[in-house]
Structure 1
Amino acid sequence: MQTTSKIILGLCAILLFNCKSAKTVRGGDANFNLSSKQVIKENAKQVAAFKTLQSKLKITYTQKGKSQTHTVNFRTKKDEAIWINAPFSVIRALVTPQKVSFYNKLDNTYFDGDYKYLSDLLGTELDFNKVQNLLLGETLYHLNASDYTTSVDNEAYIIQPKNQRALFEIFFLLNPSNFKVKSQQISQPKEFRHLQIDYLKYQHVDSQILPELIKVIAVESNNEMVVELEMKNVSLNEELRFPFKIPSGFEEIEL
């Protein structure tokens, strides 16, 4: 499969037009005096609320010392679909709660299957909700005060399970000024796997706080993959289409 194809499909694993409506979020007054229950409640208040979202998405992909940058059209219908389209529709992907679909006109191939490849790529089990949460700056796992504890370190709230599993460690870092996710990290020490998602910049769009710059680092043994996602020209709640049809005569690929 072409390298470009891997980049687009990899985005689905980890993986917003009105420039004047988007403003970078600036830091406010930090509050470090809240309980775990209060912090989790404040984070829940910041969950993005919209029906549809559209953007230009700049993807920079680095692995084994080589980097490539591509800009694609990105659309999502909340809780239903994530759609990616490269220039001239050369590569197109559609992710739904049921499956991941993808085709590549550069080599006349397509993929139409489950989330296993995406999960293997990032070293943690993925589904539609986790992919959506990753792209929107939400925690991959649902937070509740009965299962998680909160501490403060290095100007951030650190949220982690009260009972960390020896084989699977989870940490969420929240910004104390707006309670959005600064970083989320999942480690499998015995498997030498580590997934880190850093939200380097947020932006305001129509009263919503959405990621502007995301950096995803996936490490397995001595192999590291880094994907940077920059969301530009974001618009919300427009009438959008999500066209996707695998062209006839294309060859199915197994990943």
Structure 2
Amino acid sequence: MKRIFFTYIRERIYKDVCVVMKKILLILSCALILIGCKKNKEGFLLGEASATENKTALIILNEHVKNVQPFETSIIRGNVTYETDKDNLKASMDIMIQKDEKILINIRYLGFPVAKALIMPDSVQYYDVKGVYFDGDFSILSNLLGTDIDFNRFQNLLMGQVLDSSTNQNMEASLEEGLHKLINASEEDLQSSYYFEDKSALLKKEEISQKSTNRSVTISYPNYQKIGKYVVPTEINIKAEQEKSINLNLQYNKVTFDTDLNIHYKVPEGYKRINLK
């Protein structure tokens, strides 16, 4: 009798556990479906095509410009990975862009703020949890990225546009590994190459090198997404070669446009100013 009773209890518990597990799996399945639907509403990956026939530089650049839509503000949320021969750091990031005026970057590690930077057309500022702050010019970004950077070029880099928006003269076009390649034939010391896919002339890669300083940088864009009428990268890979090799990866998890921004930047009291070269 006792054996029959324990057998009944064991079977009942097993059935209850199975019912609970089925409910959990059903809830998770519904959640995944909802998340998937939400993601599709926010943005979708753009299709690309290999280049098989030559186009003129003017046609390629004109097609590339069609991807650029005017906006007032943008918020980018994602992750950043910074690698050198000695360091390997990964953190979350928020980037707020007030077009042509200011860019605020917040870096967090395990949810805690560790650094904040404010980039404006005439200055670069930042502070971090070490209790120091910097207030200077774009030379700090130029040294980090391995090429000369100003506000407009940095803004273009984040949005997947050619660094120099005035790149339209003395360009030679060719095909290389299924991409349209443009090079500036008039440049001697500073050499620039731009690579575009064929379907929408999305920028896939930029290579910039400077012989006199022995610096080079490669910026690549694996994929693009369309959010409403806007086209933005899903990811940016930057490899800079100078005195040391630097790899920087920016992963875009969520991008919004034309929402209200609260760009607040103030160096905490007691922080020490540092000079960087």
Is residue 47 of structure 2 the alignment partner of residue 26 of structure 1?
yes
Give 2:117's aligned residue. 93
Contact 1:203 1:210 in 2 (8 A): yes
Task: Give the counterpart letter for 2:169 in structure 1.
Answer: S
Q: What is the RMSD computed on CA atoms of the aligned residues? A: 2.0
Give 1:238's aligned residue. 259
What TM-score results when the alignment is normalised by the length of structure 2?
0.79
Distance in 2 separating the partners of 1:48 and 1:215: 23
Distance in 2 separating the partners of 1:205 and 1:229: 18
Distance 1:63 1:243, change over 3 A: same
Aligned residue pairs, count: 236
Give 2:77's aligned residue. 56
Give 2:4's aligned residue. none
The structural deviation recorded for 1:239 is 0.7
Give 1:220's aligned residue. 242
Give 1:249's aligned residue. 270
Question: Which one has a larger percent helix, Structure 1 or Structure 2?
Answer: 2
The structural deviation recorded for 1:33 is 4.5
3-state secondary structure, aligned to 2:58: helix
Distance in 1 separating the partners of 2:93 and 2:168: 38
3-state secondary structure, aligned to 2:64: helix
Larger RCO of the pair (alpha carbons < 8 Å, separation 6+)? 1
What TM-score results when the alignment is normalised by the length of structure 1?
0.85
Distance in 2 separating the partners of 1:146 and 1:126: 20
Contact 1:48 1:136 in 2 (8 A): no
Give 1:135's aligned residue. 158
Give 2:214's aligned residue. 192
Distance 1:20 1:35, change over 3 A: same
Distance in 2 separating the partners of 1:86 and 1:113: 19
Give 2:96's aligned residue. 75
Give 2:63's aligned residue. 42
Contact 2:44 2:227 in 1 (8 A): yes
Task: Give the counterpart letter for 2:67 in structure 1.
Answer: Q
Distance 1:119 1:146, change over 3 A: closer
Contact 1:194 1:219 in 2 (8 A): yes
Give 1:182's aligned residue. 204
Paired residue for 1:203, among 207, 225, 231? Answer: 225
Give 2:181's aligned residue. 158
Identity of aligned residues (%): 27
Unaligned runs of 5+ in 2: 1-37
3-state secondary structure, aligned to 2:223: strand
3-state secondary structure, aligned to 2:65: helix
Distance in 2 separating the partners of 1:27 and 1:186: 24
3-state secondary structure, aligned to 2:157: helix
Unaligned runs of 5+ in 1: 1-16
